[in-house]
Amino acid sequence: MFVLPETTTGPERHLLEATMDRNRRAVIDTARGLSETDARERLVTSLTTPIGLVKHAAMAERRWFQLFLLGLPESDCDGPTTPGDASFVVAEGETLAEVIADFERASKRSREIAAGFDLDDTWTHDVLGEVNLRFVYLLLIEDFARHAGHGDILREQLSAR
């Protein structure tokens, strides 16, 4: 579901952060309000489910902001940082509300971490080479927008039944 942006002008960093927050909400909104059963429904051959998309987004927050930018060891991050299929797996006992709350906590921590850096601060990524905070914002904006689109399609399929 497309939601008009609330922030359309201002300094670059303000626009990037507002767009990140908008896409974070979009990922959550694709799952919020679903039953636990519907949130876990696999409608595609991959492990992608509405709840799994939210779980994956929380991993991405931790991986980029805690592990990469802050340089924490994986054991000090506040949740899983393993990418790929594993990041979409939700334990049987986890509820949708818990997974959403985890993503919101990870997002809050990411905001706090990012506040300590400038957009042009750089890090060396083992695959991508030199990246800056601006790139991380843009990468996650793209990632979250794509996953919100996936979630929109899954939700549409669930509603059509």
pLDDT, mean of residues 138-146: 98
Measured between alpha carbons, how far is 113 from 9 in angstroms, rounded to an integer?
Answer: 24
- Per-residue pLDDT, 128: 97
Which residue carries 């979630």 as its tokens? 151
What does the pLDDT average to over 106-127?
A: 98
* Residue 1 confidence (pLDDT): 66
Would you state the pLDDT for residue 4?
Answer: 79
Mean per-residue pLDDT over the chain, rounded: 96
103: pLDDT strictly greater than 80: yes
> What is the rounded CA–CA span in Å between residue 130 and residue 120?
11
Q: Is residue 84 exposed (0-12), middle (13-18) or buried (19+ Cβ within 10 Å)?
A: exposed
- pLDDT exceeds cutoff 90 at 2: no
Q: What is the pLDDT of residue 81?
A: 95
Tokens of 90: 């939700």
3: pLDDT strictly greater than 80: no
C-alpha–C-alpha distance, residues 26 and 43, integer Å: 20
What residue ranges define each of the domains in the chain, with the CATH number in brackets?
A: 12-159 (1.20.120.450)
Which residue do the tokens 């709350």 mark? 101
22-37, pLDDT tens digit by residue?
Answer: 999 999 999 999 999 9
pLDDT digits (tens, 9 = 90+) for 67-97: 999 999 999 999 999 999 999 999 999 999 9
- Cβ neighbors of 105 (< 8 A, separation 6 or more) are 78
- Give the CA distances from residue 53 to residues 102, 107, 134, in Å, rounded to whole numbers and listed in that order: 12, 14, 23
Q: Which helix (H) or strand (E) holds 38?
A: helix 36-39
pLDDT at 161: 84
Two tokens at 85?
């299929």
